[in-house]
């Protein structure tokens, strides 16, 4: 099994949250120099010699040292070196979209987000993922020996039920080929599923009452998918959802394209990046994170189960999409590249405000059936 160098997380911790998610870096980063790479099989570098894309310390097959513990004076050079190696090693390095690098970088973003003021989504129908109970999607572990699937403990507020605690169950209903199993599970406040490029996985998510041991129907609420993007070699991700929702909301200047059908809707990611903009908390998102997110509003019959499929084009980098059950694009603040915090629906100043059904900016919540606080039960 591959193991992340102990120095990597220490190195990435030196970067500030703003540096980790700075929008200019996302939009101007290129993949120059990555004209050849590695997949899960042995391949060649530009010199024609075979290259070893493993994480182990020491040298690769052409005698070049790949990893050594960096000092603080060369910390940021080490980050750059890591990104170059990631571009070369594609499928062998799961950190391209979800894995050690993305996890370490997004940790600094989460720390910054916790310094934000009170939850801007308070009052909206909300289901917060609190704790991971079982992590064994498709039976691939890491909780080997437990029933297949992922189980989370959640807290619910203003969803039209008297109870406030439940379990969220996520299971596959098709074949599943993970790329890097440890990336599955809970990332602070977001659930994540990782898969091998060129494959798809069908998933069903439902809520369960552990006391009565029965499925729950959630009268009102939201589901948000985030980090819907692409690999550096144009392997586009997609999420296809059954039309259990009444409205969907994307960010202004979205980086996704939408295909609407009678029974399903598909959202395609188009922006290639290294996986360093994965969300960790819901209260504040960067402009890029909002451009790669979609929020679905439960329909009038509520939600019994969310049925969806994740997939991507063939490629070399591990793919990952994150999801949660909050009205993120309607309420989450926007952290601008200059550090300024904007309200979700604020127009101007470069804010990524919500757009209803891909058409018009959201201005009147009531006209869309969106309620907040006590008005939900009026």
C-alpha to C-alpha distance for 373 and 295, rounded to whole angstroms: 19
> Are 369 and 246 spatial neighbours (Cβ–Cβ below 8 Å)?
yes
DSSP state of 346: -
Please spell the DSSP secondary structure of 185-197, one letter per residue. Answer: EEETTEEEEEE-T
Per-residue H/E/C for 338-361? CCCEECCCCCCCCCCCEEECCCEE
How far apart are alpha carbons 171 and 63 in whole angstroms?
Answer: 44
DSSP state of 358: T
Instruction: List alpha helices for 186-229, DSSP H.
Output: none
- For 130-165, letters b (16+ CB in 10 Å) and e give eebbbbbbbebbebeeeeebbbbbbebebbebeeee
Which helix (H) or strand (E) is 225 found in, with range?
strand 222-226
320: left (phi over 0), alpha (psi -120 to 50) or beta: beta
Helix (H) or strand (E) holding 360: strand 360-361
| Residue 274 confidence (pLDDT) | 74
Q: Which residues contact 301 (CB under 8 A, 6 or more apart)?
A: none
Residue with tokens 């309420």: 331
Q: What is the pLDDT of residue 317?
A: 84
Entry pTM: 0.73
pLDDT per residue of the chain (378 residues) written in tens, 0 to 9: 333 333 333 333 333 334 333 444 444 443 333 333 333 333 333 333 333 333 333 333 333 333 333 444 444 444 434 443 343 333 334 444 555 545 454 444 444 444 455 899 999 999 999 999 999 999 999 999 999 999 999 999 999 999 999 999 999 999 999 999 999 999 999 999 999 999 999 999 999 999 999 999 999 999 999 999 998 887 899 999 999 999 999 999 999 999 999 999 999 999 988 777 899 999 999 999 999 999 999 999 999 999 999 999 998 888 999 999 999 999 999 999 999 999 999 999 999 999 999 999 999 999 999 999 999 997
């Amino acid at each position: 099994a591959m193991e992340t160098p102990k120095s990597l997380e220490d190195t990435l911790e030196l970067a500030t949250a703003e540096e980790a998610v700075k929008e200019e870096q996302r939009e101007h980063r290129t993949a120059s120099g990555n004209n050849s790479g590695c997949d899960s099989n042995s391949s060649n570098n530009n010199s024609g010699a075979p290259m070893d894309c493993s994480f182990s310390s020491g040298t690769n097959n052409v005698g070049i040292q790949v990893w050594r513990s960096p000092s603080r004076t060369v910390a940021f050079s080490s980050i750059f070196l890591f990104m170059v190696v990631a571009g070369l090693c594609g499928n062998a390095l799961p950190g391209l979209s979800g894995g050690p690098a993305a996890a370490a970088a997004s940790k600094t973003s989460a720390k910054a987000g916790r310094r934000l003021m009170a939850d801007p989504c308070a009052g909206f129908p909300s289901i917060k993922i609190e704790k991971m109970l079982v992590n064994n999607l498709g039976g691939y572990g890491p909780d080997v020996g437990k029933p297949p699937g992922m189980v989370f403990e959640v807290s619910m507020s203003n969803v039209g039920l008297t109870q406030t605690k439940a379990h969220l169950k996520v299971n596959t209903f098709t074949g599943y080929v993970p790329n890097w199993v440890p990336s599955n599970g809970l990332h602070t406040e977001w659930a994540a599923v990782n898969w091998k490029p060129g494959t798809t996985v069908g998933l069903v998510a439902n809520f369960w009452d552990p006391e009565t041991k029965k499925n729950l129907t959630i009268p009102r609420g939201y589901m948000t998918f985030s980090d819907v993007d692409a690999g550096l070699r144009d392997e586009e991700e997609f999420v296809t959802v059954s039309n259990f929702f009444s409205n969907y909301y994307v960010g202004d200047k979205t980086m996704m394209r939408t295909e609407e059908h009678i029974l399903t809707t598909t959202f395609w990611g188009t922006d290639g990046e290294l996986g360093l903009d994965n969300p960790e908390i819901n209260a504040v998102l960067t402009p890029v994170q909002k451009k790669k997110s979609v929020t679905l509003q439960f329909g009038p019959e509520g939600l019994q189960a969310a049925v969806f499929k994740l997939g991507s084009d063939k490629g070399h980098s591990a793919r990952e999409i994150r999801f949660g059950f909050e009205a993120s694009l309607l309420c989450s603040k926007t952290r601008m590249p200059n550090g300024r915090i904007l309200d979700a629906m604020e127009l101007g100043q470069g804010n990524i405000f919500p757009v209803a059904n891909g058409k018009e900016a959201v201005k009147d919540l009531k006209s869309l059936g969106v309620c907040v606080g006590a008005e939900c039960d009026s």
